[in-house]
Homo-oligomer: A and B are copies of this chain.
């Protein structure tokens, strides 16, 4: 029942009434910057060039953490500099990146607990109206980065882990399709389970058995036809997954 998002949208529309507002998600786990970083990286790349993405998962609000605005693959992002853009950045570094310092862009009164509404929303609105990134503040060399576990190849084995679990219970790993080198029949191990080969879609597997396939994000995914792999396997983010080519 929090009115925070509604207030923030009001600020956006007050400053940029012609902007097209799109709700990406308001259901990310509170204060979970890592989940938000994954979400942002997966979502933003589908938007038209010049889209402004406002990402506010900001447990350090009011502290010395910076606020940044940058451009990645023609997508503008406004966010706290707390790791939220680190997966976007890890995939391809920002073409332009600035730290916020120009207080004349913020609301007249800035609270200590809601910079999303008081600083970032006004910034996003002005960028949508054509403000140049250089007017936000001085260049920032690099954003704060979370450590992203990368799947590692050793001989014919790739050692990775579950990056996130979606609401269907599908397990999305950090093993990239490219790392499989076209191998269509890897053996995937998770816990004590052994999954042979990749299928093309969810309905291809034997019922009640976990399957492996390439996800819509081009990564290795473990799923269950019409069921929750997470529940079946008792699996969660961070659990190891090994792939034998």
A residues whose Cβ falls under 8 Å from a Cβ of B:
1-11, 13-14, 17, 20-25, 27-32, 35-36, 38-39, 42-48, 51, 59-63, 111-114, 117-118, 164, 166-168, 200-204, 213-216, 218, 221, 223, 226
Name A225's closest neighbour in chain B (CB-CB): B59
Closest CB of chain B to A33's CB: distance in Å?
11
User: Can you name 22 A-B pairs with beta carbons within 8 Å?
Assistant: A1-B25, A2-B166, A3-B24, A3-B39, A3-B43, A4-B216, A9-B22, A9-B46, A10-B46, A13-B51, A14-B48, A20-B21, A31-B168, A46-B117, A59-B226, A63-B201, A63-B202, A63-B203, A111-B214, A111-B218, A112-B201, A113-B201
Chain B neighbourhood of A11, CB < 8 A: 46
Interface of A is mostly: loop
CA distance A226 to B57 in the complex (A): 12
Could you say how many copies of this chain the assembly holds? Answer: 3
Is A1 a contact partner of B14 (Cβ separation < 8 A)?
no
Q: Which of B113, B166, B221 contacts A221 (CB 8 A)?
A: B113
Q: A7-B46, A113-B202, A201-B112 are in contact. Are A29 and B13 (CB under 8 A)?
A: no
Query: Which one of A6, A8, A31 has the greatest number of beta carbons of chain B within 10 Å?
Result: A6
CA distance A165 to B190 in the complex (A): 38
Chain B neighbourhood of A60, CB < 8 A: 202-203
